[in-house]
Amino acid sequence: MTSNLPLVSIHLISYNQVAYIRAALDSILNQDYPNIEIIASDDGSTDGTDEIILEVAREHPGKIVPLVEGINLRYHG
């Protein structure tokens, strides 16, 4: 059924949001629209935000595209 629905891509960006990132991802995953992908990117967090993104991506294979390997662009751009 979901294959007939258009895919909606949601880009979630983060930097040092360890206290909120899981809730943000869970909120998106709990939406009524079933055919989504979440592109969760992290800008070089130092507080473990990237680890949570990877953990949730493993829990929901095929739903989350983690983009977490990088350095903070503001300070190294």
pLDDT reported for residue 76: 58
Q: Model's pTM, two decimal places?
A: 0.86
Give per-10-residue mean pLDDT for the chain (77 aa): 84 96 98 96 94 97 92 64
Which domains, and CATH codes, for the chain? 2-72 (3.90.550.10)
Q: Which two tokens stand for residue 31?
A: 């939406």
Give the CB-side neighbour count of residue 36, counting CA atoms within 13 A: 18
Give the Cα separation of 45 and 49 in Å (integer).
6
> How much is the mean pLDDT over the chain?
91
